[in-house]
A and B are shown apart, each in its own frame.
Chain A
């Protein structure tokens, strides 16, 4: 049983396309995140939701839109994909926001060509 699962694991798409990555956690956590890991391996937070409410929205282009239908799911939709969007996107969850362990999903490798 995967605690934080995200799909798809690999995604190759052309510039200008719109794509979505889905994430689900079965840990009963209140908080979910999207992180971006670029080619230099830097891990940067993009968004954080707590009980379906957006609490962190870093400086991310408007082309990225998260959606949390319930606290177990956090999806990421990306419009008008650009070459620079190529990265690994990690979904994650934690019991709450205050200094709790973050559990990562297996990552979604996005390549924009």
Chain B
């Protein structure tokens, strides 16, 4: 079955700097890769997603890149702000298993 590895587990960046979170997946048939943000005490919410027929997608300060050959995808947040502090989860949809598998999460701290 699909296995999703996410790094780092914790990330601290200065406000205004960029943050990058990386994930790898094992199932080459996976074709959908969402990213979720979970603020303290709240539910995970989708912030951006990418499908396997696209290499990059951008939405204002966040972007996701996908390298199908290497089976890894990354979340990039530019000009970080205090409200970006949260836990971020990557995920991969495995067509073989017909389910979305989540990474273990990255706790992002934005330092003032």
Contacts and interface: CB of A to CB of B under 8 A. Distances in A.
Partners in one complex: yes
Interface of A: 40-45, 48, 55-56, 90, 97-107
8 contacts: A41-B104, A42-B104, A45-B101, A55-B98, A97-B98, A99-B95, A100-B32, A103-B46
A100 B25 CA distance: 18
Interface of B: 31-32, 34, 38, 42-46, 49, 51, 87, 89, 93, 95, 98-102, 104-105, 107
Contacts, number: 49
B34 A106 contact: no
A56 B105 contact: no
B87 A41 contact: yes
**Chief secondary structure at chain B's binding surface:** strand
Contacts of B102: 42-44
B98 A106 contact: no
B42 to A, nearest CB: 7
